[in-house]
Amino acid sequence: FVDFDFGYISNNCSNLTISPSLSYKKIKFKINLDYLINNQSSLYTNQWDGIFDVLEKIEYLNLILFEDKFKLHLGEVKNLTFGHGYLLNRYGNNYNAPIDKNLGIVFRFKNSNNSFAYSLFASDLENLLDNKGLVGHHFSFLVSDLFPLRFGFGHVIDLNQFTNYEGEGFSRQIHGFESDFTFPLLASSRDSVLFIGEISGLRFPETRYYKRVDDDQFTNDKKSRNGTWGIAFPGIKYINKNFEFK
């Protein structure tokens, strides 16, 4: 199938988009080939100079293999969550679209009985080659069918928080970690109630020093830390076919 779209942006500038798409068995693909007509804006430009300029026009490329055990997504990343969302919650990689577009990748794997699951993502492949962007992975495992407690562990890295200020000579990498658990209190074909919890932490690349003042001679002194952490526990999550609440 091919979709055509013609729209007006500003200053007599129009945008023509041709979007061919394919859906065949376990493969789904869509790319948005856009071109600006009579463009006089400094924000919106026709980007066709390099290979990534073309690849970043891919909206999605979804590939499912090995009886749904292996899933690969290439393109725009939407609503990506690790664990219960205390560290990474509904993340998307195209916050500045359509001015900037990113070619993200999400890889998922699970075994036949879903007792083990693994996810890996990168916010933008072009940035990743330049040691920039956001990358992370998460894995979880089920203790047993008789005791269906699931543990999960995640790790997210911002390779350079100052990517947009590289010309100023700034660079800073930060790591985030999380550990989560899920235990079903009630499970049926219609809805389920889960007992959940998660602990998350951030590790700074440097040690931060501060002075805590609370009018106590034993605590009015210099402190230091190289990260921060938080905990979301205890928690209840309700899920049915129409919505979820926690």
Residue 83 has pLDDT above 90, yes or no: yes
* The pLDDT of residue 158: 96
222-240 per-position pLDDT tens digit: 788 899 999 998 899 999 8
141-188 per-position pLDDT tens digit: 999 999 999 999 999 999 998 887 766 778 899 999 999 999 999 988
pTM across the whole model: 0.86
Q: How far apart (Å, rounded) are the C-alpha atoms in residues 192 and 220?
A: 49
> What average pLDDT does range 107-120 have in this prediction?
96
Count other Cβ atoms within 10 Å, centred on residue 91: 20
17-34 per-position pLDDT tens digit: 899 999 999 999 999 998
Q: How far apart (Å, rounded) are the C-alpha atoms in residues 174 and 118?
A: 22
Residues of the chain with pLDDT > 70, as a percent, come to 93
Residue 243 has pLDDT above 80, yes or no: yes
Tokens of 245: 């609440």
Residue 208 has pLDDT above 90, yes or no: no
* The pLDDT of residue 11: 67
Phi, psi of 120 (to 5 degrees): -140, 135
Query: For the chain, where are the alpha helices, taking DSSP H only?
Result: 51-55, 125-129
